[in-house]
Amino acid sequence: MPEKGRDPVGAFVCGAGVLLNDLWQGEISATAIWLYPLSKAPKRDPTSGCVRNRAEMPCGGPVEPEPVNTGGGKVLVSTQILSSRRNLEDDMKHLILAAGIMSATSAVAADAPVLTVYTYDSFVSDWGPGPQVKAAFEAVCACELNLVGVEDGAALLSRVRLEGKNTDADIVLGLDTNLTAAALETGLFAPHSVTADYALPIEWTDTTFVPFDWGYFSFIAIAGADVPANFAELAASDTSIVIQDPRTSTPGLGLLLWVKAAYGDEAPAVWADLSDNIVTVTKGWSEAYGLFLEGEADMVLSYTTSPAYHLIAEEDASKVAVSFDEGHYAQIEVAAKLASTDQSELADQFLAFMVSDAFQNIIPTTNWMYPAVTPANGLPDGFETLITPKSTLLLDAAMAGEMRDKALTEWLGALSR
């Protein structure tokens, strides 16, 4: 037996016991740790990383309202982004407690209203638009913007359907036109009154959903490679592709409807011809794009805007979008207000903010999509290099909803052989 001092199992159990014991004995006051990072620690601006406190405001913008302890409830925990490693320790204590203490209600700071927006996970990620959007909206709304990330567009809609009329969401942001028919059917969403000078490839007439960005689906290849000019050429060539599964991923569903919109009843035959080009089908966009970068396939299904990321963020011009002469299927991402919201005015304010420059300027280089309304200062440098498809394909929402299941059955039939 190893000596006691070097017994990791024992030490582990013992350590956990001491911690619990201390907590019980009141050695560590839960509330004290809880509040410390909120009240004492300098606040960090998530976008610029600079420290700000109440006396001076070097970062500009108003200070977040001081959190108020609502009787052991949750106190603005989720809004704190403490990004420095120095704060990791506080942070961890903080998280232990966040996990361990159940608050009976989701209490919030008393003096500021909270607008809850459900969106997809990559929107709220630290590298997505979320942090900047939050800072920008909170600068004008005298409110707290609570962004909740749910996997992807389809999972987002499922979450809202699961919660139904009792949903905590005031706004759902991140559905696309292939999902809006199903979303509308739920009767959970309220009409909007937003008008804007949209830069969309189609005229926007939807009275429930407001677009916030858009893009074209496209295959991405390595610059200089021999690429096909349409699906027929692709099927005839031995170019390999990796695509996403329409059952689990929005780009996958986009491709399904792209082929359907371009070929109608001949779509099954096109898929049958494509089947020997498809290296594999992945669950989501990340896996597929990763496989392409690893060299597993010559092309991957993504967006015409994908090369902009490599060009702008990595100064790498080696990825190009491949133009198909059938036209490219568009994805228009939308948001809508929930009918059950208790923050109706604030939600309207957010939807109007969403099509303003403050929001639209953030989109191109965080979500890597085209803004729904071109901001006054135009698109970032690099976007002018992207291909412009000859024509736009897009099934309208009702049609897309109707076609979806039929197209999926055809796809499964053609590729399962």
Please spell the DSSP secondary structure of 172-190, one letter per residue. Answer: EEEEETTTHHHHHHTT-EE
List the interface residues with another protein, window 290-349 (CB under 8 A). 290-291, 293-297, 306, 309-310, 313
3-state secondary structure of 92: helix
| Angle, CA 257 vertex, CA 276 and CA 249 arms, to 5° | 80
Shortest approach of another protein to residue 295 CB, angstroms? 4
By CB under 8 A, residue 287 contacts another protein: yes
List the interface residues with another protein, window 180-199 (CB under 8 A). 182
Asked if 269 and 231 count as a contact pair (C-beta separation under 8 A), the reply is no
Is 198 or 370 the residue whose CB approaches another protein more closely?
Answer: 370
Using CB under 8 A, which of the segments 194-202, 262-270, 284-292, 394-402 binds another protein? 284-292
| Angle, CA 117 vertex, CA 144 and CA 203 arms, to 5° | 125
Tallying the residues shown for the chain, one arrives at: 417
Shortest approach of another protein to residue 345 CB, angstroms? 23
Using CB under 8 A, which of the segments 228-236, 239-247, 356-364, 378-386 binds another protein? 239-247
Task: Give which of 346, 343, 330 is closest to 388, Cα–Cα.
Answer: 330
Task: Give which of 259, 205, 230 is closest to 403, Cα–Cα.
Answer: 259
By CB under 8 A, residue 37 contacts another protein: no
Q: Which of 41, 154, 210, 321 binds another protein (CB under 8 A)?
A: 154
Shortest approach of another protein to residue 354 CB, angstroms? 18
Q: Which of 162, 197, 205, 345 binds another protein (CB under 8 A)?
A: 162
Phi-psi region of 396 (alpha: psi -120 to 50; beta: other; left: phi over 0): beta
Is 45 or 327 the residue whose CB approaches another protein more closely?
Answer: 45
Give the DSSP letter of residue 371: E
Shortest approach of another protein to residue 205 CB, angstroms? 26
Which x/- pattern over 346-385 shows residues binding another protein (rule: CB under 8 A)?
A: ----------------------x-----------------
Shortest approach of another protein to residue 195 CB, angstroms? 30
Is 181 or 373 the residue whose CB approaches another protein more closely?
Answer: 181
CA dihedral 30, 32, 35, 41 (to 10 degrees): -130
List the interface residues with another protein, window 243-262 (CB under 8 A). 245-248
Distance CA 16, CA 8 (A): 12
Distance CA 248, CA 156 (A): 12
By CB under 8 A, residue 69 contacts another protein: no
Q: Which of 28, 50, 57, 95 binds another protein (CB under 8 A)?
A: 95
Shortest approach of another protein to residue 325 CB, angstroms? 26
By CB under 8 A, residue 238 contacts another protein: no
3-state secondary structure of 243: strand
Residue 188 half-sphere exposure toward CB, CA atoms < 13 A: 25
Give the DSSP letter of residue 72: S
Beta bridge partners of 338: 189
Is 33 or 182 the residue whose CB approaches another protein more closely?
Answer: 182
Distance CA 217, CA 255 (A): 7
By CB under 8 A, residue 4 contacts another protein: no
Is 373 or 403 the residue whose CB approaches another protein more closely?
Answer: 403
3-state secondary structure of 322: strand
Is 2 or 264 the residue whose CB approaches another protein more closely?
Answer: 2
